[in-house]
Chain A
Amino acid sequence: MTAPLVELEGAAVRLGSRTLWSELDLSVAEGEFLAVLGPNGTGKTTLLKVLLGLVPLAAGTVRVNGAPPRLGNHELGYVPQQQAFDRSLPIRGRDLVRFGIDGHRWGLPRRTRAIKERVDEALDAVGASAYADAPVGLLSGGEQQRLRIAQALLGDPKVLLCDEPLLALDLASQRAVTRLIDERRRQSGTPVVFVTHEVNPVLPYVDRILYLVRGKWAIGTPAEILTSERLSDLYGIEVDVVRVRDRYLVVSAEDELPTEPGGHAHHGHAH
């Protein structure tokens, strides 16, 4: 087995005086799909920021492909959540994708055939060629996310970090986007760290789950983590996990769940 591509030992993160999580041990190996679950504000996104070098650890160690995180590490591909671009924003799909090659570089862009071909290939690979020249502000959420994946894959990343990439997407786009990410993982062995508050759309691909709840965490396969016992323990209240066909629903016996669980339980009731 190869060395883990992401490795945290005894890691802790503090924002101000608040400890988001601590004593976190985690390693992600080649080809693995890790889903990071938990309610809002528990530090899921912060975990990605630690790996990207945007947030330092308060304790412990972290290694990405054997080295400490650093800003501008192009071994990492980063797919953020879909954002609303202004309709008149003068940026085409291919411009957004091309940022993945030289968006961080100073000076005039080189206009070489090689770069154009790489961008065209990346667009083609995610099925975005048809709208490559359209302004991004006119594209749907699903189309935008395909461009973002193309952008992230252009740098030929060693690890893919995804931060709620399915948020605000319709079901068909959720599936298409997830499948593209999974494809990369299977073809190139690129491990995926996938932050989400909704596990069901990615469940078919997930190897392990890291579940964060208010400073506590659990890690294991979906079958190990998504049980009434484990989640009740994490949340500190009685929580029922119900499996309906291939979906998991998290239901609280109490009227108000303190936080939002794996399913879409905004008011303490799963649906």
Chain B
Amino acid sequence: MGIGFYLQFGFAQHALEAAFLVAVSCGLIGPFVITRTMSFAVHGTSELAFTGAVGGLLVADNPLAGALVGALVVAGLIGLLGQRAAERDSTIGVILAAGLGLGVFLLGYYHGYASEALNILFGNIFGISSGQILLLGVIAVVVAVVLTVIRRPLLFASVDPDVARASGVPTGVLGIVFLFILAITVTEAAQIVGTLLVLSLAITPAAAAQRFSANPFVVTVLSVVMAVLAADGGLLLSFQFPTVKPSVLIVAISFAFYVVARLAGPAVAARRRNRIAVPDLAELHRG
């Protein structure tokens, strides 16, 4: 009963499609998350997707819708209260703690299967319906389109906010838009790897990618490719080793990419810098 056997089934095909859609979105936002030093925001919004999901289960028996609403509310709060970078970190910590407390409180009122709620934490890729695939697809397209439209100003604002503002880039609005995109992506990813392991798709591939290149376009492509390889690769591996949860294998692959990048990356950077040599010191000293 290997990969070929499972692939005959609809649930396995759905899982592969879902993993692909989620990985593409995660791979796209990853480089921006790192450039804007927002890893903690990813962690915060994803964990609070748990609270939202429990709320969704209680109110409408729909954890995904609840998680989406929850993540958007959290993104709005972070954007509103944590405009300055120094403030943002502590703001996220405060919101995260309060929100998780609320989630645990709400869980006490939920009398369905506890596994429904636990699935949110660790992911349940095999329970995905065609309707959910459609929703994940719509989300992936929205994320890709919005990121394509705001790509250059967002990069400018992330790297060099003062000059970007002076050039007419609405840096504040872009920051909020990006937070919402991040919240949507993270919620989507939580379906696959669970809220606790979202970082393995939203951060790790991008962190590995930027060890191989400084070209923002190349970094984005590498980040998407590695995220897809980790997500679908982990899933396929789990067909071969059914005792291990797919999210664990996804994390393992993505972490392996990072370890390789860490080992190979510094050499790449050093070569890059050495090629430059010390270009114009002589000229500088003539001045």
A, B: real partners: yes
Query: Which residues from chain A sit less than 8 Å from chain B, CB to CB?
Result: 52, 54, 71-74, 76, 78, 80, 83, 85, 87-92, 95-96, 99, 102-109, 127, 130-131, 133-136, 138, 142-143, 148, 151, 172-173, 175-176, 179
From known contacts A106-B150, A173-B284, infer whether A134 and B166 are also in contact, taking CB-CB under 8 Å: no
CB distance from A240 to the nearest CB of B (A): 31
8 cross-chain CB contacts under 8 A? A87-B269, A99-B152, A103-B169, A131-B279, A134-B276, A135-B214, A148-B163, A176-B280
Q: Give Cα A143–Cα B281 distance, bound, in whole angstroms.
A: 10
Q: Are B166 and A54 in contact (CB under 8 A)?
A: yes
CB-CB contacts of B201-229 with A at 8 A, as 1s and 0s? 00000000111011110010000000000
Q: Give Cα A72–Cα B273 distance, bound, in whole angstroms.
A: 34
Q: Are B269 and A135 in contact (CB under 8 A)?
A: yes
CB distance from A116 to the nearest CB of B (A): 13
Q: Are A92 and B215 in contact (CB under 8 A)?
A: yes
Q: Find chain A residues with CB under 8 A from B166 CB.
A: 52, 54, 71, 76, 78
CB-CB contacts of B145-161 with A at 8 A, as 1s and 0s? 00011111101100110
Interface-centre pick from B159, B165, B269 (highest chain A CB count, 10 A): B159
From known contacts A85-B159, A138-B273, infer whether A71 and B152 are also in contact, taking CB-CB under 8 Å: no
From known contacts A52-B166, A88-B210, A89-B35, infer whether A134 and B272 are also in contact, taking CB-CB under 8 Å: yes
Contact count band on B: 35 or more
CB distance from A166 to the nearest CB of B (A): 13
Task: Output the nearest chain B residue to A99 by Cβ-Cβ distance.
Answer: B156
Q: Find chain A residues with CB under 8 A from B34 CB.
A: 90
From known contacts A72-B167, A175-B284, A175-B287, infer whether A88 and B211 are also in contact, taking CB-CB under 8 Å: yes
From known contacts A104-B152, A135-B214, A175-B284, infer whether A130 and B276 are also in contact, taking CB-CB under 8 Å: yes
B84 at the interface (CB under 8 A from A): no
The list of the 3 closest CB pairs from A to B, nearest first, reads: A72-B168, A130-B279, A135-B214
